[in-house]
Amino acid sequence: MTTAVQPGDALPVLDDAEPFSVHVDDVRLGGYAWWQPSPAPAIVLIHGWGQDASHLAGLARQLHGRGWNVLSLAARGWPGSTGDAGDYGLSSDRDIPAVVSAVHRRGVSNVWLLGYSAGGLQAARGVVAAEGVAGVITVNSPMNVHTEYRDTPSQMMRAYYDDILTPAHWERCSPVTVADQVTVPMLLIAGTEDRIIPCTQSQEMAALVPSASYVEMPGMRHLPTDEQWDDILARALGWIEQVGNES
C-alpha cells in the first residue's frame, strides 16, 4: 500500500519530466510535464489526498508514450505547490483555468482533465470556469460533500471532513452545485468495492450532467491497482475517441 505523503514534503525529482509551474494570485501550483516535440493533445492529471504529482507519473508516461502531452499537477498545498492543503476544491474555479491556460500557451488546443479521488472533485468543479477543455474524467471521486459525509462507510473520511471543511466548502465546493453548467463530456468511473467514496457519488453527478457517462468497475477499491489503472486508461482513451468522433 502506498504511504501517504504530507503537505510539507518535497516533490520528488523525475529525470524524464520537466518541472511545471503556474501562479494563481499568491499561490504557486507545480508539478511535472511531459511534452511532445510536435503538435498533440494534452491531458492534465490531478492526484488524490495523501498523494503528490509523482503518484500518477506511471499513467503520465503511458499517455506520453501514446502521443499525448501530459501534465501531472500538484494540488494546492501538496508537495510541489503552495497554498492550503485543506482547500479541497474550494479554489478549483481559479486553479483549473490557470493550469489549462498555461497548457494552451504552449500551443495546445485540445486539453482534457483526469482526476483521481479529490483530484476528480477539483477537475469537475473547476471545468465550468475553464475555457478550452474538451472533457473531464474522474476516478473514485466525491461529487457532493453532503451525501458523501452521509453515505461513506469510512469514519476516517467523516473525521477528515469534520477537520477541514468550512461553511464555504459545504456550500460550494461540490461539483453537483455546478452540474447544470457542465457543457463538456464527462466520464465518471467508480469502483464497486470503494469503501471511502461510494459509487453513488459518481452516479449522482452523472444523473445531473446530460453529457456524462458512468462506468462501474467491479472489484475496484478506492486505490486502483496497476492493472486497474491500465483498464481505466483503456476505457478513458476509448471514450475520448468516441466523444471526439461525435463532436
Per-residue pLDDT of 145-201, as tens digits, reads 999 999 999 999 999 999 999 999 999 999 999 999 999 999 999 999 999 999 999
What is the distance between the alpha carbons of residues 124 and 212, in angstroms, rounded to a whole number? Answer: 11
The proportion of the chain whose per-residue pLDDT surpasses 70, expressed as a percent, equals 98
pLDDT tier for residue 1 given thresholds of 50, 70 and 90: very low
DSSP lists the bridge partners of residue 168 as: none
pLDDT tier for residue 244 given thresholds of 50, 70 and 90: confident
User: Is-contact 148 201, C-beta < 8 A?
Assistant: yes
Residue 69 exposure: Cα atoms within 13 Å on the Cβ side = 21
Q: What amino acid is encoded at 87 in this protein?
A: D
- pTM of the predicted structure, to 2 decimals: 0.97
Q: Can you give the pLDDT at residue 247?
A: 62
What is the distance between the alpha carbons of residues 239 and 138, in angstroms, rounded to a whole number? Answer: 13
What is the distance between the alpha carbons of residues 222 and 23, in angstroms, rounded to a whole number? Answer: 31
What is the distance between the alpha carbons of residues 61 and 43, in angstroms, rounded to a whole number? Answer: 12
Mean pLDDT of 107-114: 95
Q: Can you give the pLDDT at residue 198?
A: 98
Taking only the tens place, the pLDDT of each residue in 183-194 is 999 999 999 999
In order of 83, 199, 210, the CA distances from 157 in angstroms are 22, 15, 29
Q: Show Cβ contacts of residue 38 under 8 Å, excluding neighbours closer than 6 positions.
A: none
Q: Can you give the pLDDT at residue 2?
A: 55
What is the distance between the alpha carbons of residues 210 and 228, in angstroms, rounded to a whole number? Answer: 27
> Grid coordinates in use for 234?
483503456
Architecture of domain 20-246: 3-Layer(aba) Sandwich (3.40)
Q: Which residue has the cell 457542465?
A: 182
> Grid coordinates in use for 107?
500551443
DSSP lists the bridge partners of residue 214 as: 188
What does pLDDT average to over the chain? Answer: 96
